[in-house]
Chain A
Amino acid sequence: MNGVHDMGGMDGFGPVVREQNEPVFHADWERRVYAIVGAGMRAAQINIDEFRHAVERIPPSQYIASSYYERWLSAAETLLVERGVVTREELLAKHDGSPESVRALVATGVRAIGPAPIKEKPGAKPPRARFAKSDQVRARNLNPTGHTRLPRYVRGKRGVIARDWGVFFFPDTNAHHAGTKPQHCYSVRFEARELWGKSAQSRERVLVDLWEDYLEPSDTNSKPKTRKSVTTKRKK
């Protein structure tokens, strides 16, 4: 989804400020959220992709106004209610907090998404890689309304396959229990000027890890059939 979480290239958030002698957690509730997500998501069979997507589904204004662990908490509540592990009524009944916190809970925006996950056995045969190192590729201009790990700032941009990381579950389907769709994930190198225009520095590159379904051969590969024959001429 084209959410506010997809922040690469945005302006206006000011300088990065470093906190000196920063503790691991800033409050006891952050400790509990971290541990509950770590242990509870596993117990409820909630996968990492759907957890990330639950964070992304937080309404933009709330996302921006929340701290990192507040977003984790909202995502955990959303998923556990959707999964039927807890009910909203139970959460509110247990709740001995202020009216403000109850409102925050109600505002989380829960909706039903159906049954528990289908467990898929990993495929015996790993899928073949469509791309090889040094191949010219273009990130597809995809705008799915569900989960994706294809950042907006690379869509439509040309890059080069730097490495093949091997086969991973596809987050766009895995987050929605629509299959794990295992496929190759690549490190794709983009020139800063390709991403940000001519004013960008020439000696800057951004490497983004992209699944095969996010990529297509670039137009500059005019003769895909000759790819193998020219491989040896390419610089490593």
Chain B
Amino acid sequence: MSGDHHNTDESGPAARVKALEAILTEKGMLDPAALDAIVDAYETRVGPRNGARVVAKAWTDPEYRKRLLADATAAVGELGFAGPEGGHLVAVENTDGVHNLVVCTLCSCYPWPVLGLPPVWYKSFAYRSRAVSDPRGVLKDFGTELGAEVEIRVWDSSAEIRYLVIPQRPKGTDAMSEDELAAIVTRDSMVGVEKIAPLARPGAKRARA
């Protein structure tokens, strides 16, 4: 779809960015090294592995789960995760009866400190438009089917609150450690577009990170 494409030919936006960076650097407003540090943080440290650690801890530590549901910003901060788009975090928990789904219809607000930068599908016009009016249809696009008895709560991130979905812990994972659990928590389950499938063989590698 339009808007989801990537201009990788390095002619249009690439040249504009170069010009902008050169001028701002000349004016002393930007330090190229600081820019490199920002990029490096989001490519190597700030990503969905952080959120997965939060979820795994909530699954294994009932007291932490309580703190996370009561004040996610503080509970996430306990694990050392904080930063832009993370000042007002809220955790919402999926259960047998309730399924939560997060969207930003007006732009693409996303909980950066726990999930990193949003994937293209989250920023796509298809997702932004239909998640609020046809959530079950959108979930089907992800291969996620929910029973008619399950209540769906769609959270439109229209203000400064950023949402993290705590997916349901899959069956067959009772013997797994917190670290092992963190490895099976997917990014998309923490946005609410997929469930984590029951583990047939504990320790088996998942196709998707």
Partner-B contacts on A (CB < 8 A): 5-11, 13-22, 24-36, 38-40, 43-44, 52, 55, 63-70, 73, 76-77, 80, 85-86, 90-92, 94-98, 100-101, 104-105, 149-151, 153, 165, 168, 171, 185, 187, 195-196, 200-201, 203-211
Contact = CB atoms under 8 A, between A and B. Distances in A.
Contact of A32 (B17, B108, B131, B150): B17
A107 B143 CA distance: 40
Contacts of B105: 6-8, 151, 153
Interface string B27-55: 10111001110110011000100000000
B125 interface: yes
B21 A32 contact: yes
B84 A6 contact: no
Contacts of B159: 149, 165, 168, 171, 185, 209-211
A151 B116 CA distance: 25
Contact of B43 (A20, A24, A29, A65): A24
A207 B121 contact: no
Given A55-B107, A151-B106, A7 B125 contact: yes
A198 to B, nearest CB: 14
Given A39-B34, A151-B156, A11 B17 contact: no
For chain B, the bracket of interface size reads: 35 or more
A34 B39 contact: yes
Interface of B: 1-8, 10-24, 27, 29-31, 34-36, 38-39, 42-43, 47, 84, 88, 105-108, 116-117, 119-121, 123-133, 135-136, 138, 141-142, 148-161, 188, 193, 208-209
A25 B13 CA distance: 14
Main secondary structure of the interface of A (DSSP, over half): mixed
B107 A5 contact: yes
A9 B129 contact: yes
25 contacts: A7-B125, A8-B105, A8-B132, A9-B129, A15-B141, A19-B120, A22-B119, A28-B10, A29-B13, A29-B14, A38-B84, A39-B35, A40-B30, A43-B29, A44-B29, A66-B3, A91-B19, A91-B20, A91-B23, A96-B15, A97-B11, A101-B15, A101-B16, A104-B12, A149-B106
B208 A35 contact: no
Nearest to B127: A16
A56 B190 CA distance: 28
Contacts of A207: 153-156
Given A9-B129, A34-B117, A35-B35, A203 B123 contact: no
A86 B154 contact: no
A228 to B, nearest CB: 26
Contacts of A55: 107
* Most chain A CB inside 10 Å of its own CB: which residue of B13, B47, B84, B107: B13
